[in-house]
Each structure stands twice: as C-alpha cells, then as structure tokens.
A and B are shown apart, each in its own frame.
Chain A
Amino acid sequence: MEQIKLVIAGHIDHGKSTMIGRIMQDIGALHDDKIELLKAISKRRGMPMEWAFVLDAMRTEREQGITIQTTQVFLKTPTKSYAVIDVPGHKEFLNNMISGAASADAAILVVDAKEGVQDQTRVHSYILRWLGFDSVLVTINKMDLVNYSKERFDELRFQVNKHLKKVGIISTTILPVSARYGDGLVHRSQNMSWFTGPTLMSSLDAFWPKPMPMELPLRLPIQDIYKFDERRIIAGRIESGKLKVGDTLMFAPNNSTAKVRSIEAWGVKLPVLAASAGQCVGITLEDHIFVERGFLASHKTNPPVQTYFFRARIFWLANTPLELGRYYKLKLTTIERIVEVFKIEKVIDIFDLSEHSGNQIERNMIGEVVLHTRAMLYLDEFTFNPHLGRFVLFDGYDMVAGGLVFIDKVQELGLISYKSLQQIPSVEDHVTIENRWRANGHKSGVLWLTGLSGSGKSTLALELENILFRKGWQVCVLDGDNIRSGLSADLGYSPSDRHENIRRVGEIARLFANSGVLVITAFISPYRSDRARARALMPSLFHEIYVNASLDSCKKRDPKGLYKKANNGEIIEFTGISSPYEVPSSPEVEVNTCKQSINQSIEKMLSYIQAKFALENNE
C-alpha cells in the first residue's frame, strides 16, 4: 500500500495539531496507554482532553499550547496509508514549517471558523504555492464556536476562495469541521445536517502520492564512487526517467559518454537489467571515463539544460538578508556551485503579498532573482522536472534559502546563457583549441580591460601587445579605434548602441581567442551585465582586468578632451559624468593607475599572463 504524505497548514491556534490528534483517536490509531497518558497530562494542566498533545510532545509545547517543531505521525485506513505532517503556525518557526511541508504530496489548510483568514493562513498558503501546490483541501475548523452556522461557513468559504485565488491555488474542497468534538472528521456531524458534502477522511481518498517521474528524461546525479573491491561502482539516485544495461550515458559537465556495463546490487538472485526513478542504484561502465560526485548522467538524446544564468524564485530563511552581488553555495541534488546574485527582479512580501524592488531580500520573503555561476550548471525547469529544478543555498554551513528554477525567459535578459547540448557540434574532426595552443606555444583567451575613460586602458593594452608580440606571442588589441571605424561603424552612442557594440566586441574576441590568439580589449564597458554576457560566452577564456583610476585623475588626464565636452553638455550620457560606471565585483586582476606607475601595472599583468597563459612543457 502506497503512503500519502499530507501536510496540515494554517494559522496559529486554528487547530492543526488538535485535528490530527482527534483523527487518530477516531480511527483507532491511538494506543490505549497513550490515551490514558494524554488524559492524565491534560488533567494535570486543568484542561479538557487535549488532542494536540498527541503531537505536541515537548514540555514547552504543551505548556505554551503551541507547536514549535514539525512532526510526523502515521495513519492507516483500510484503503490508504498516510504520513501526516504537522507544522508550526508561528512565523518564528517558518523554517520548521518548510522543512515539514516540502516533502508532502497533498496539503490541508485549516481555518478557524471564528477568526477566518489570518496572517499565517496567508503565509502558509503562499508557501504551499511556492512549493508547487496548485490545490489544497480546506477545513473550516471550530464550527462549534459559531454554533455550527451555515451562514458563517458560506461567508468563510467565499473569503477563503477569494484569498486562495489571489495566491494562485484552487481549493478543491472546503469542509466544515469541529476537531475538538470530531464533527466532520471521520464521522458525519450530527450538528451540521445542512452539510451534505463528504467527511474529511473520505475526502482524503481523492489524494494520491505524487507519481515517480518515470516518463521524464533520465537524470542520475552522481552521489559517490565506490571502490570496495575490484568493481568501480558509480552510485546515485535516479531522480527521473529510466536506464538499462547497455544504455549510453552522457555525463555533464564533461559530456563524456560511456555504456552501462552492469547495474550492481547486493543480495539479489538475478542480475538487475534496468532501473527507474526513485531507485538508488550503483552502475559500472564499459569505458573508463572520469566521473565524480556532482556529475549528472543523462541520455544523449534528452540532456539537461546547461547554463551559466537562470531565474529562480527563492524563499529566504536566514536572519541576514540576501544581498545583490553576493556569492552563495548552491546545492541542487548532489551538484554544488558557487552562485552570484546577479539581479533581484522582484521581492514579494508574503504577509501582504505586496511586491517591491530592492537590493536585498529579508527573512521570510520570496524573491525573484537571476543567479549566475562561473562553472556550467545543469538543471531543468522546475515545472518540467521538479527534482532537477529545485535547489537550496548555503551561506557558509547554514542553509539560507530554497529556490525553484525558471529558465523560460532567460533569453530576454539578453544573456546568451544556455544551450541545449544538441546544438554543440562534435569537435573530434576539427582542429581543437589545444592544437592551436601547442602550435603557438601559449594559451589563448581574452584580457578584458574595463575602466573609466582616461584610466589608461588603451595605453596598457598597446604596451602589453608590444611586449608579448616581441616575445613571439599571437596577440592583438581590440579598442575603440579599430572597432568603431569598421565593425561598429553603424552604431552611435545611445545606450542600446553601446550595449550592441560591447556585444560585438565579446563575439569577435571569442572568435579570435578560439583561433589561438591572446586578445586584449580596451573598452570602458561600464555595465556589469555587458561584461557578464561576454564572460558567459567563454567562461574559461575570459579574464576581467579592472583598470582603476579615480574620476578626478581621469578628468585631469582627459587625453581626448572628452570630459570637458561632457561637462559642457556636448556629449550626453558620458560614463562617470552623466552615466554610471559599475565597478567589477571580483575581477581576476585589478591595477590602479593612480597609485602605480604604468610599468608597475604592466608587471602585474605580465605575471598574471605568465601564470595563466604560459604552456607547460607537458601540456
């Protein structure tokens, strides 16, 4: 018999724990000695029988009459088996609420007949929506306190439906109950003969466990590699799809492929030939390829999305707010990446559902953000494959957020950020970049100089080119002089033309770098997003060099007289004067041409080039 996981949500003191305790009693799931014990401890506190004490097991919970920590109890009826998850209703304990609700198949929202929709009714329903629930069952509890009134029930049904609609949830069923007296839970209520609908227990028959995603493409995140004996076993849980012996698997991020030789298992009589979603498997491969924890196996025909940027809807759990530009550790199944908060598009206050913009996301708020990773990440859209479309963020060792992946509109960000693997051409028959490096005697890439007009970018770029060329390097400089006169001759200086110009520079730099050349670009490139887009084109080849000089000294230098013109209003939107310069948050190299001489800056860049682009003898 399959088990259904059911979470009971709702506002403080609307009767969640009481309802579960009472159902257990009414279906005979409570042991005799437990009932005696509960009677005794209720009596000791001068209370009538308190069903909530079945779940509120801790002394502080009983004494304060609240649920602090999420708990689970198990129920069995002749037809179904349930794990019922009780969660706290206080906003201080939303961490615990999410920890409980995240694994549920179905949800019940409890609303007090007297109080109606309250703060935590709103918060919990929004969290349920965020977790992916699009429908809930609602119980209007404590009907005894409103004299089992049909009018009050109808009024609340309207109120609850209106609220849930706003959140984006459908209430499949709304039932009047009194948990304390057992009305409408397991037995029909004598006090509400006007209600012709089902009891809570019979409504639960409509619930089923979420099916294992067997029909989705194969996703097998690697959990560990075992070498206990002569076998090298690659272990992991199949999150979706199926695999069988003989299948060719492709492992992200390398995208190397190998055939499944065997599916290993201990204590089985017949060899295992196939496995599917939900199973923890161990496989051996026919070819010896490098695989480690955090790799993701799929079939070649249905690979995951591979991306450096993605949108996410995150729930922030930590006391310290999330900040734009900060780095966090992302964990998605067994995959771990450092991510930067690249953009905060929207912050949603789940208490009043208002939306605002900002550079922070506070505790218990939901944010729509764009995250950026430097190393390729592989995932699926949450709505397509939940197991590969949800992640958590850690700050140090603390879990600070949960998030869902949305990639549908990522291209609108103007970031060329994800590609489907089918589009990656096979390179086996081509000259590889490594072939070119060996021929040239050094590696290639792009040194992307960014900084204010007059900071010294062109001077440094041309001097570096000179030195490296004389050493025999394949090197070239791209700057305003050679790009604006030809490739971008059709562009002006409006913001959109400037974005386009930088986009072209990125593309041309990548082509040169892929052909083995060390490219040095010298453009103000004031926008972080433009630079990130260029980086995303060629993450392993891109090196950001921040040429730092104060605005005052740049104005003083003013080699082309541009600042003077800008001040006179002859040039509009001039970086540093009438348009912003966004300082790089973590450039690979920073040189300061106010504090260092040209030679010192050149030395610093040369030693970086030596470290990153020199070819070892054996490479």
Chain B
Amino acid sequence: MDHLDFIEAYSIYILREAFNKFDRLVMLWSLGKDSNVMLWLAKKAFFGHIPCPVVFCDTGKKFPDMYSFQKKYTKNWNLNFIRQECPPIEEIDPTLTVSVRSAARKTEALKRLIHELELQAVIVGIRRDEESTRAKERIFSPRGENAEWNFRDQPPEFWDHFMTKLLPGNHIRIHPLLHWTELDIWLYIQRESIPVVPLYFAHNGKRYRSLGDMDITKPVTSNADTIEKIIAELLVTKIAERSGRMMDYETEDAFELLRSAGYM
C-alpha cells in the first residue's frame, strides 16, 4: 500500500464505524474539494452507495459554479440530498466580527437541522493541516447541547476505538479526513479523477485554494490551471490554504471561537 492507499483505507474504516454506530447521521457537503473526496470515499466504503443523507448548508452566497456543480452531482451520484437554508444574518449574534458573523450562519443552520432530525452524528470533511485548531480535533468529537466543542476535555481516542457516548441533545462530529493534507487531497483527486468545481483552477492569474461564500472568500495569485500544476504549486507555496478565508483572520482567536461555538 502506498501513502494514498493507506489514508484512503483509514477514512473508509472511520466511515464504516460511523455508519455502524449511528442510525441518524448525515454527511456535510460544502461542494468543496475535501467534501467531494469524502463522498467519493463513502462510495468506496459502501460499494457505490451513500447510505445517509448528504446535507448542503446553503448561505445563498456561493459562487454560481458551485450551485451548478451541486445540481449536476446530486443527480449523477444519486444522492439523498438535503438543502438546509441558512438563517438570515439578522438572526446571528451582532457582537461577532463581520466575516465570523457571516460564517456563523452555517453553524446555526446545522444546529437547527440537528434539532429537527434529532441527529446523533454529523460527518464533516475537515483536516488537521488546514487550520491549527482543527489540528487539535479527535476523529469522533463529542458536541454539547449547543453544539459546543470543549477542546480541553476530549475523550481518549486510540487504537481506533472511538467515543460513541451520546447524552440527550448532544451529537458526535465525525472527521474521516482529519489525517489528510491539502496535497494528499489533490494527489487523490488526480489518481481517482474526482470532479471538482472549476474555480480551483487558475483563470486570469487567479485561483481559489479554498471555497466559501463569495463575499468573504478571496482567490490567490496563481497560474495553476491543471491538477498537475496545482500539485507542483503546493510543493513550493508559502501561502496558507485558507489565506483567502477572511473569517480566520479577523482576530487572533476568531476561528477558535467560531469552532468552539459549533462551526465545522
């Protein structure tokens, strides 16, 4: 097994544990490269089927390319698709900084869905290497009644034995891509020919490293217009993957606060 085989197998193991342990679970699909890889891994884990609903938290502010991608692959991949509309900005804590407040709409949408469907678990495609608070995550990460994350008191997790305790009103976040790097993701997309939104490829000297809402996501300078060029770029770049995601940078602990309050 090479490195990609190994990380693929581990993700499949996690997805199968998730499906075995929980009846009411969903998988989040942000339409980005990572969650596309995650859907692909689920198809591998379950032999062509995705045995749980796939949820898209719609802020209404995604790029048009993303919406058309969503329509196409919902059909092509035969997804049990749920579009969860995010509440308007007015319903979100006004004391938050601008981009964080905007991003928090997604947290709120997810919380409402968890409540409505009485979800036990939510599968999320975050990775340790994209952001340093995510690096502190467990694979099975328990969340409190308000979806809050207590990074300090996380349960022990080793030898692939995961926390499946569920108190009333709580849920578990499951992170099957935690051990992948950005480079792994692209190498795997290349190997498996996984479709991605075209915005990742350079157009007029700019491309998106990470996709979010149109108003709080910026492209990076790049000429990488093929997967091969993206991989070559990642080997030498000095720019962070999420440098175009404004909500990460408004204050030192902006992202920590967002995640402690239930963001993905």
Which residues of A are in contact with B by a Cβ distance under 8 Å? 1-3, 28, 31-34, 37, 41, 44, 54-55, 57-60, 68-74, 76, 81, 83, 95-96, 98-99, 102-103, 212, 223-224, 226, 228-229, 231, 233, 235, 237, 264-267, 276, 278-280, 282, 293, 317, 331, 333, 390-392, 396-399, 402
Complex-state Cα separation, A173 to B19, whole angstroms: 45
Cβ of A99 and Cβ of B138 under 8 Å apart? yes
From A54, A226, A399, contact of B132 by CB (8 A): A54
A60 close to B152 (CB less than 8 A): yes
Whether, in the assembled complex, B1 has its beta carbon less than 8 Å from a beta carbon of chain A, the answer is yes
**Stretch of B81-89, B113-121, B237-245 with 4 or more beta carbons under 8 angstroms from chain A:** B237-245
Judge whether A69 and B165 touch: CB under 8 Å.
no
> How many contacting A-B pairs (Cβ < 8 A)?
148
* Residues 222 to 240 of chain B near chain A (Cβ within 8 Å): 235, 237-240
Neighbouring B residues of A3 by C-beta, 8 Å: 3, 6
**Residue contact A223 to B129, C-beta cutoff 8 Å:** no
B261 CB, min distance to chain A CBs, angstroms: 14
Query: Once the chains are docked, how many angstroms separate the CA of A555 from the CA of B49?
Result: 71
Picked from A57, A223, A264, the residue with its CB within 8 Å of the CB of B20 is A223
Q: Which residue from B129, B239, B256 sits with its C-beta under 8 Å from A33?
A: B239
Q: Are A71 and B13 in contact (CB under 8 A)?
A: no
Contact partner of A57 (CB less than 8 A), chosen from B13, B136, B154, is B136
- Residues of chain A within 8 A (CB-CB) of B188 are none
Chain B residues within CB distance 8 Å of chain A: 1-3, 5-6, 9, 12-13, 16-17, 19-20, 43-49, 51, 128-129, 132-133, 135-136, 138, 151-152, 154-161, 163-166, 179, 181, 183, 192, 235, 237-240, 243, 249, 252-253, 256
Contacting pair A98 B252 (CB below 8 A): no
Given A57-B133, A267-B192, A280 and B2 contact (CB-CB distance below 8 Å): no
Contact present for B135 and A226 (CB under 8 Å): no
In whole angstroms, what is the CA distance A76 to B183 when docked? 11
B151 smallest CB distance to A (angstroms): 5
Residues of chain A contacted by B46 (CB below 8 angstroms): 226, 228, 266
Which listed residue (A58, A103, A223, A229) contacts B256, Cβ 8 A? A58
Q: Is the CB of A58 within 8 A of B133?
A: yes
Q: B residues within 8 A CB of A96?
A: 154, 156
Within 8 Å by CB of A102, from B3, B17, B44, B158, lies B158
How far is it, in angstroms, between the C-alpha of A253 and the C-alpha of B32 when the chains are bound? 44
| 9 additional A-B residue pairs with CB within 8 Å, beyond A226-B47, A398-B155 | A72-B179, A74-B128, A95-B155, A98-B158, A237-B9, A266-B43, A279-B5, A397-B165, A399-B163
Inter-subunit contact A31/B20 (CB<8 Å): no
Q: A31-B240, A57-B135 are in contact. Are A99 and B252 (CB under 8 A)?
A: no
- Cβ of B256 and Cβ of A74 under 8 Å apart? no
**What is the chain B residue whose CB lies nearest that of A32?**
B238
Contact of B164 (CB < 8 Å), options: A57, A73, A229, A397? A397
- On whether A41 and B49 interact (CB within 8 A), knowing A71-B136, A102-B158, A280-B9, the answer reads no
Q: How far is the CA of A437 from the CA of B3 in the complex (A)?
A: 56
Q: B47 to nearest A CB, angstroms?
A: 5
Given contacts A1-B3, A398-B165, contact A231 B158 (CB under 8 A): no
The answer to whether B252 and A59 touch across the interface, beta carbons within 8 angstroms, is yes
Q: Are B9 and A278 in contact (CB under 8 A)?
A: yes
- The residue in chain B whose Cβ has the minimal distance to the Cβ of A209 is B6
**Cα separation A609 to B13 with both chains bound (whole Å):** 45
Contact A399 to B239, CB < 8 A, known contacts A58-B151, A278-B6, A280-B12: no
Min C-beta distance of A361 to chain B, whole Å: 16
Min C-beta distance of A158 to chain B, whole Å:
33
B237 to chain A, nearest CB (A): 8
Contact B159 A102, beta carbon cutoff 8 Å: yes
CB<8 Å pairs between A and B, sample of 28: A2-B2, A3-B6, A31-B240, A31-B243, A32-B239, A37-B249, A44-B252, A55-B132, A58-B151, A59-B253, A68-B151, A68-B152, A69-B136, A72-B135, A73-B129, A74-B128, A81-B3, A99-B156, A103-B158, A212-B1, A223-B13, A223-B17, A228-B49, A231-B47, A237-B13, A265-B47, A276-B1, A398-B155
Question: Do A99 and B157 contact each other (CB < 8 Å), given the known contacts A58-B151, A228-B47?
Answer: yes
Query: For the complex, what is the distance from the CA of A264 to the CA of B12, rounded to whole Å?
Result: 14
- Residues of A with C-beta under 8 A to B3: 1-3, 81
B20 touches A58 (CB 8 A): no
Contacts of B158 in A (CB 8 A): 98-99, 102-103, 392, 402
Instruction: Note all chain B residues with C-beta closer than 8 A to A224.
Output: 16, 19-20
B44: chain A residues within 8 A (beta carbon):
265-267
What's the minimum C-beta distance from B99 to chain A, rounded to whole angstroms?
16
Q: How far does the alpha carbon of A58 sit from the alpha carbon of B151 in the complex, in Å?
A: 9
Residues of A within 8 A of B5 (CB): 278-279
Q: Pick from B13, B154, B179, B181: contact of A280, CB below 8 A.
A: B13
If A57-B136, A73-B135 touch, whether A282 touches B47 (CB-CB below 8 Å) is yes
For B132, list chain A residues within 8 Å (CB): 54-55, 57, 71
| A392, B17: Cβ atoms closer than 8 Å | no
| A399 near B12: Cβ-Cβ < 8 Å | no
- Which chain A residues border B48 with CB–CB below 8 Å? 228, 266-267
Q: Which residues of A contact B133 (CB under 8 A)?
A: 57-58
- Contact assessment for A267 and B9 in the assembled complex, using a CB-CB cutoff below 8 Å: no
Distance in angstroms from B231 CB to nearest chain A CB is 13
Interface centre among B43, B45, B51, B159 (most CB of A within 10 A): B159
Cα A2 to Cα B128 with chains together (Å): 18
Contacts of A226 in B (CB 8 A): 46-47
Q: How far is the CB of B69 from chain A (nearest CB, A)?
A: 20
B60 to chain A, nearest CB (A): 29
In the assembled complex, the Cα of A595 lies from the Cα of B214 at a distance in Å of: 79
Q: A33-B243, A59-B252, A264-B47 are in contact. Are A69 and B156 (CB under 8 A)?
A: no
Whether A235 contacts B239 by the Cβ 8 Å rule is no
Indicate if the CB atoms of B155 and A399 lie closer than 8 Å. Answer: yes
Complex Cα spacing A69 to B17, Å: 24
Q: Judge whether B256 and A279 touch: CB under 8 Å.
A: no
